[in-house]
């Protein structure tokens, strides 16, 4: 791929990053240094994916499809995989503010009920390097614990989702990477909440139009 092709291909991601840098202040984001990891009986929990027979890519809980953030969309579009995305953001008013709704949110298409990128024969993701952050961080997420000094972020293994093969052996690299991805995923959600309702005009100009509601259905 020529340098020019690479520059064009990363255009949407670069534009989005520039807008996010201009709009979001550091205090809007979760600082990884402030996140503690919740342990189970003193041990970190990690999924044992190699021995899993019930992959989350085909799990019934994934019926709604894999939801995408603006950054995920930009990554797929820049990589020529935009045709695998369906859905558009919608907005709702809640507590006096306009927020993006997840019901119709852009998501990956499905094939035979599974994620479009899931290969049934190998049981692997065919776009592993590009997989959305929600896949990278699963099954860790960032939650918030209320303390006297305010809400404190905590990374936790999502116990209510059935991850059938949990290992509680301590593997520092695995835990650290999943937690870093969970924080990144949380920051992408925060980014979307800040950018979508108030900056949809700039997003439309950048090339996100196919994933946004019609202008008449966007907040002014
Ligand atoms: S369900 Fe859990 S153990 Fe199975 S592939 Fe997904 S993350 Fe790994
Ligand atoms: S994108 Fe890849 S990792 Fe994510 S659900 Fe689809 S097949 Fe699984």
- How many C-beta atoms lie closer than 10 Å to residue 83's C-beta? 10
Q: Which helix (H) or strand (E) holds 72?
A: helix 70-78
Q: Which atom of ligand 2 is closest in space to residue 118's alpha carbon?
A: 7
- The yes-or-no verdict on residue 6 having pLDDT over 70 is no
CB under 8 Å to 38, separation ≥6 — which residues?
A: 154, 155, 156, 157
Residue appearing with tokens 């306009």? 98
Average pLDDT over residues 68-87: 95
Residue 75 in contact with residue 173, Cβ under 8 Å? no
Indicate if ligand 2 lies below 6 Å from the C-beta of 131: yes
Q: Which-ligand-closest: CA of 59?
A: 1
- pTM for this predicted structure: 0.87
Higher pLDDT: 126 or 40? It is 126
Indicate if ligand 1 lies below 6 Å from the C-beta of 14: no
CA atoms of 206 and 74, how far apart (whole Å):
10
CA atoms of 35 and 18, how far apart (whole Å):
26
CB under 8 Å to 215, separation ≥6 — which residues?
A: 204
Indicate if ligand 1 lies below 6 Å from the C-beta of 136: no
Q: Which atom of ligand 2 is closest in space to residue 128's alpha carbon?
A: 2
What is the predicted pLDDT for the residue at 217? 81
Average pLDDT over residues 48-59: 77
The first and second tokens of residue 56, run together, are 């989350």
The first and second tokens of residue 41, run together, are 């009986």
Higher pLDDT: 201 or 167? It is 201
Nearest CA to ligand 1 atom 7: 47
Average of per-residue pLDDT values in the chain: 85
CA atoms of 193 and 116, how far apart (whole Å):
26
Q: Which of 126, 125, 90 is nearest to 105 (CA)?
A: 90
- The yes-or-no verdict on residue 209 having pLDDT over 70 is yes
113 Rama class: left (phi>0) / alpha (psi -120 to 50) / beta: left
Indicate if ligand 2 lies below 6 Å from the C-beta of 77: no
- The yes-or-no verdict on residue 144 having pLDDT over 60 is yes
138 Cα to the center of ligand 1, angstroms: 8
CA atoms of 161 and 163, how far apart (whole Å):
6
């Amino acid at each position: 791929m020529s340098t020019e092709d690479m520059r064009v291909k990363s255009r949407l991601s670069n534009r989005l990053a520039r807008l996010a840098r201009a709009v979001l202040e550091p205090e809007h984001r979760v600082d990884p240094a402030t996140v503690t990891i919740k342990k189970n009986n003193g041990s970190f929990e990690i999924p044992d994916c190699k021995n899993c027979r019930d992959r989350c890519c085909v799990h019934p809980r994934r019926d709604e499809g894999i939801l995408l953030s603006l950054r995920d969309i930009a990554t797929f579009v820049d990589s020529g995989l935009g045709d695998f995305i369906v859905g558009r953001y919608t907005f709702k008013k809640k507590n006096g503010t306009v927020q993006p709704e997840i019901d119709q949110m852009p998501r990956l298409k499905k094939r035979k009920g599974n994620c479009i990128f899931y290969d049934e024969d190998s049981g692997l993701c065919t776009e592993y390097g590009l997989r959305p952050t929600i896949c990278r961080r699963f099954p860790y997420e960032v939650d918030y614990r209320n303390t006297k000094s305010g809400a404190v972020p905590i990374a936790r293994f999502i116990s209510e989702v059935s991850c059938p093969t949990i290992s509680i052996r301590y593997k520092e690299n695995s835990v650290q990477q999943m937690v870093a991805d969970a924080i990144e995923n949380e920051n992408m959600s925060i980014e979307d909440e800040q950018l979508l309702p108030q900056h949809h005009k700039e997003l439309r100009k950048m090339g996100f139009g196919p994933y946004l509601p019609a202008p008449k259905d966007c907040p002014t």
